[in-house]
Homo-oligomer: A and B are copies of this chain.
């Protein structure tokens, strides 16, 4: 009988696992995702800041596997497991598996302050990006209509919490928007006078990069009008603004990019977790005591050289592929191999011609790092059409200084 492999999540890990497995026609693969699309999350901040369309960075999962007849795609939500009988329980069904790959990803982490979510939305899904785009663009509209200087100031203050790549990229993009894109479009306000503050609790932004590059990124952000506040702890967020230590800053737009934790499905899995809920795994990425279950991507805690690997796309891609290969090994009665992450380097962009890159011992910044960033992101996008259209949009924005998707789409009547 054909072996049945169920994959939960069509992110970078799940997609790569499915692609690797699909080469063996003797197995049956089911991919379950709550969304109908794979999302290229590294560019999500550009949807939130009106640079790209939703469809430029997302691809229907069904289309990806349209021709792979041994893959079934199911848009459904996994709610529980029956690990002893090897069943995945979804909202609408119960699915038997021989092997299970859990690649359910991560979600935002407000570190216990869940009420902050109402005032400081985060950015994990396309819906989040749409909400954020409406919020950012509406802030300028409200400022234009404001009756007092105080109100105007409140609407022109943007606070981004979290100095990792997402926070830095968002802050840079909002900086560019105010300095360039929107600069001439208003009559009562000058968007260039917007105040953009990037808040980081640690002693520097982008801590995973070399200190010199992190300083370079800070300078780049400042050149776009972004104030970088390090060693700054957020103590309260409400409808009026943010408390940083004892200082209160009034702001209409607050964005949360300060942390993620494992998808809540990890709570349904037995065994050891870290404090972010990520599941600790064996050397081959299998779940301790369950050799038929593999854990991949952001939901995984895999230690290499004494520290857990970060929740980034390259780790997820390599893990998904590795888990799939171990299943194929099993079916061929071959020995399983331990997982080893091959670090190709890291990149972050701040704005036009502004980025930093660290590839092994090579440290780059400025135009060449930016160009590398563009090249890598185009390369890893799914589908020729998305690559082409993202390139065209970027080319367009590069030469015209315009943003392509400056739409507020809400229920206003």
Contact = CB atoms under 8 A, between A and B. Distances in A.
A75 B405 CA distance: 17
A305 interface: no
A329 interface: no
A409 interface: yes
A410 B58 contact: no
Contacts of A75: 141, 144-145, 408
A60 interface: yes
Contact of A63 (B34, B36, B55, B402): B402
Contacts of A126: 407, 409
A134 to B, nearest CB: 10
Interface residues of A, number: 52
A408 B410 CA distance: 17
Interface stretch (A181-189, A214-222, A280-288): A181-189
Interface of A: 34-37, 53-56, 58, 60, 62-63, 66-67, 72-77, 92-93, 125-127, 130, 137, 141, 144-145, 182, 184-187, 385, 388-389, 392, 396, 400, 402, 404-413
A133 to B, nearest CB: 11
A276 B260 CA distance: 53
Among A36, A76, A125, A405, max chain B CB count under 10 A is at A36
Contacts of A409: 54, 125-127, 130
Question: Which among A74, A125, A182, A413 has the highest number of chain B CB atoms within 10 Å?
Answer: A413
A389 B137 CA distance: 23
A72 B75 CA distance: 46
Contacts of A130: 409
A145 B55 contact: no
A55 B127 contact: no
B412 A145 contact: no
A188 to B, nearest CB: 8
Contact of A407 (B55, B184, B185, B413): B55
B127 A36 contact: no
B37 A407 contact: yes
Nearest to A400: B385
Nearest to A410: B127
A51 to B, nearest CB: 10
A154 to B, nearest CB: 15
Nearest to A131: B411
A384 to B, nearest CB: 9
Nearest to A93: B145
Contacts of A400: 385
